[in-house]
Amino acid sequence: MNAAILSALAVLAGSIIGGLTSLATSWLTQRTQAKVGELTRDKGRRQKLYKTFIEEASRLYIDALGYDESQAFEQTAGLVKIYALVSRMRVLSSPRVIQAAENILRKIADTYAAPKKTFPELREMLHQDAFVDPLREFSEVCRAEFEALGFTSD
């Protein structure tokens, strides 16, 4: 085979390999950027959902401690909202997060069924550590989920 042809083929093969390498690198870069963007959006959605749930559950739990049956209608709207938040979690969250959220719902329902607490009783509960934080498990499970997914703390 002629040396000139062999050189031309080598140059052509080198150009093709270089072009394919550039194409593959660009494709991988775009794919990685898209994945990072999706993870960032997913983290934001979860953070917003968990924040709303924590705020609503906290409000309902405190309301439940001082619940009076004459307020039954007002409490229904809050319960509907928190059940809707748990349903949204079923789409995005791990089973452990959902289980922890359902435990909070049960605690809130049990607290509504319990006798009403007066302010002095609430104060006494806080001083005697009888006031159990129903959101602690949920918060810890959410943090573990974020860490397992590779989300860093803000």
pLDDT tens per residue, range 96-150: 999 999 999 999 988 888 888 888 887 887 777 656 688 999 999 999 998 888 8
Helix/strand/coil for 6: helix
**How many other C-beta atoms can be found within 10 angstroms of the C-beta atom of residue 111?**
18
Could you tell me which of 101, 97, 82, 102 has the C-alpha nearest to residue 147?
97
Q: Alpha carbon of 47 to those of 14, 38, 119: distances in Å? A: 49, 14, 32
Percent of the chain predicted with pLDDT > 70: 90
Kindly state the tokens that stand for 57: 């559950």
